[in-house]
Amino acid sequence: MRRFVRVDTDRGARVGRLDGENVELLDHDDPLAALRGVGEVVARMPLAGLPLLAPINAPEIWCAGVTYERSRDARLEEAQTDARDVYSLVYEAERPELFMKDAHMLRTVGPGGAIRLRSDSTWMVPEPELAIVLGAEGEPLAVTIGNDVSSRDIEGANPLYIPQAKIFAGACALGPALAVPDDWDAPLSIRLRITDADGAELFAGETSTDRMKRTPRDLAVWAVRDNPIPPGSVLLTGTGLVPPDDYTLRPGHVVEIEIEGIGILSNPVAA
């Protein structure tokens, strides 16, 4: 895979091409241009120690839900009303669940940024997801890692509360890199690890995108149907990893999401 990162330099943000343990900094901060091969290399530096930024300033971030069987089962377990059947219905339906997570990066952080907890929620979880960067016509251009931080108790109380369960300050993380797959149909492994403030492991799990009910390309087609999503926007494709019901995120926890070929997105949890 070709991989690109955004880093903070003494001349401001720059896009860079990853080359092993080094990054080739380009003369601009336009990830979409970098994906097209536009830009001159102005410096080559070790990646270690460079402050990583979110790999793209996405004008919009969208999410797909109930795309894995595990996600469907978790939604059914948390549901507290008779409307719980909607999750089974959407899992089997042709039309996917889609919702807007953020706009203009107001609620989204990059690598190392703090994801946050709703003050009115008692049950919050990370949702590790493959994220795709969309082009002008909605075509997938690259992939990255997304964390769709969610309140399970608020969503479980009533499906109509999904916007409040999903959309709040620090509710999303993206990074660490943009990657262009050599084969868009090849499955990717996704790993989740959560530790406490002392580094003790609280949860670890693994899944693969080949367990998705729908393909990322299919989700992208639905997302832009009669919907003018700006180029450079990001679509998170759903989660297949859900911590056990007795776990909730707490301040001081650290969430690590690894997707092969992209890297590791690590974020501390804050109130």
User: For 153-203, what is each residue's pLDDT tens digit?
Assistant: 999 899 899 999 999 999 999 999 999 999 999 999 999 999 999 999 999
> What is the rounded average pLDDT of the residues 55-82?
78
Q: Do 137 and 171 reside in the same domain of the chain?
A: yes
Q: Do 74 and 142 reside in the same domain of the chain?
A: yes
16-to-2, 174, 212, 220 alpha-carbon distances in Å: 11, 17, 31, 26
The whole-chain average pLDDT of the chain stands at: 94
Task: Return the top range by mean pLDDT from 72-76, 79-83, 193-197.
Answer: 193-197
Range of the domain at 196: 60-270
Asked if the bond preceding 176 is cis, omega within 30° of 0, the reply is yes
Residue listed under structure tokens 């007795």: 246
CATH at residue 15: 2.30.30
Q: Domains in the chain: how many in total?
A: 2
> What is the rounded average pLDDT of the residues 240-266?
96
Instruction: Please give the radius of gyration of the chain, using alpha carbons only, rounded to the nearest integer.
Output: 18
Residue listed under structure tokens 């180029």: 231
Query: Over 90: is that where the pLDDT of 79 sits?
Result: no
Q: How confident is the model at residue 90 (pLDDT cuts 50, 70, 90)?
A: confident
Q: Do 206 and 250 reside in the same domain of the chain?
A: yes
What's the whole-model pTM score?
A: 0.94
- Select from 213, 203, 216 the least CA-distant residue to 244: 203
Q: Which of 87-101, 108-122, 179-193, 246-260 has the lowest mean pLDDT?
A: 87-101
Q: How confident is the model at residue 112 (pLDDT cuts 50, 70, 90)?
A: very high
Q: Do 74 and 33 reside in the same domain of the chain?
A: no
CATH at residue 97: 3.90.850.10
Per-residue pLDDT tens digits for 10-39: 889 999 999 999 999 999 999 999 999 999
Cβ atoms within 10 Å of 121's Cβ, excluding its own? 18
Query: Over 90: is that where the pLDDT of 81 sits?
Result: no
The pLDDT of residue 71 is 61
Q: Do 67 and 85 reside in the same domain of the chain?
A: yes
Farthest CA pair distance, the chain: 59
